Amino acid sequence: MKVGFLGLGLIGASFARALRDKPDIDALIGFGHRETTVRAALDLGVIDEAVTAPQDLLSVCDVIVIGTPTLLAERQLIELIQASEGMEKPPILTDVASVKGNLWRAVQNLSLPAWPSQVVLGHPIAGSEQSGVHAGRADLFECHRVILTPHPENDRDAVEVVKQLWEQAGAEVVLMPVELHDKVLAATSHLPHMLAYSLVDTLAHSRVSEDIFRYAAGGFKDFTRIASSDPIMWRDIAIANQAEVLSAIDEFSAGLDRLRDAIAKGDANAMTDIFNSAKAARDRFVLTGKPPERD
């Protein structure tokens, strides 16, 4: 099997490294927008060969992994689908972007007679504070989950091939409806990023911001770690998952209003209920990796 990588950043390079030397893999072929990235990917042995245009991957690969950020991945997926129209057996197309709904809708907006059966959308729940081809690690996905959001009209073999590639990289693959993926990721990842960015931005503009940052301690550092993430990547995620991010912000704001009311009223029981519920849910999540017991 020949696997192509469109985009050779952290995720693409790590996936390629994880697949290197697996018995099924005949070649790892890459395309990168920057010449220096492509040269590094070849020098580091991340890929075996490079092509000079994304479309060139179509004729030489069995599977193409689009490893570019959210909005670019959307455009490239559409371009690859269009460029592979008329191919007798087009390669499987998959991706690693943080939002799935925008890709899904972009494909549907092509108004093809049916969902292109070789297109299997996916999202590895793994990352690193580092980025770029040099940060690629063969073990990045080990013991991490990869969510695939297959379409009912997907070729079952195509889904199976993508699943097995991720499993060979050490990941646990789960299948999920695209709407659920975007709702769950909005809650666990997109919303926390928005809160952390918004908090730090607000404090940076405070009248006493100098004292605030001078006396902030370890808890603040942990809590705001994700506010050091790439602004462009997160702008694109907020754009791509707009509806779910807004809905997550609104649910959060309603919850914060309830806590604010409890504090304003000095309602010790209401505060304790909220804090206990949160502590129990998080402790359970950390200890067992399981969701909280329902009331």
Q: Which of 59, 82, 130, 198 binds a second copy (CB under 8 A)?
A: 198
- Is 260 a residue that touches a second copy (CB under 8 A)? yes
By CB under 8 A, what part of segment 218-247 binds a second copy?
Answer: 219-229, 231-232, 234-235, 238-239, 242, 245-246
The answer to whether 227 touches 200, Cβ cutoff 8 Å, is yes
- Quickly list H helices, the chain: 10-19, 35-43, 56-60, 70-83, 101-108, 156-168, 178-185, 191-204, 209-215, 218-223, 231-240, 242-265, 268-288
CB of 58 to a second copy, least distance (A): 31
Closest separation in Å from C-beta 160 to a second copy: 22
Could you say which of 25, 60, 83, 216 contacts a second copy (CB under 8 A)? 216
Tokens of 53: 């245009």
Whose Cβ is closer to a second copy: residue 112's or residue 243's? 243
Element holding 4 (H helix, E strand): strand 2-6
CB of 234 to a second copy, least distance (A): 6
Give the shortest CB-174-to-a second copy separation in angstroms.
8
Q: How far is the CB of 294 from a second copy (least distance, A)?
A: 8
Minimum CB–partner distance for residue 280 and a second copy (Å): 8
* 22 close to 169: Cβ distance less than 8 angstroms: no
b vs e for 97-109, b when ≥16 Cβ sit within 10 Å of the residue's Cβ? bbbbbbbbebbee
Strand partners, 66: 6, 95
Task: Identify which of residues 4 and 69 has a Cβ nearer to a second copy in the complex.
Answer: 69
Return d(Cα 162, Cα 124) in angstroms, integer: 12
Q: Is 126 in the site for a second copy (CB under 8 A)?
A: yes
**Residue 203, amino acid:** L
Q: How far apart are CA 98 and CA 105, in angstroms?
A: 15
- Of the residues 48, 131, 144, 164, which one makes contact with a second copy according to CB under 8 A: 144
Kindly identify the residues of this chain, within the stretch 158-197, that bind a second copy according to CB under 8 A: 174, 176, 180, 183-185, 187-189, 191-197
Number of residues that bind a second copy (CB under 8 A): 97
Site for a second copy in 66-125 (CB under 8 A): 125
Among 53, 114, 143, 286, binds a second copy (CB under 8 A): 286
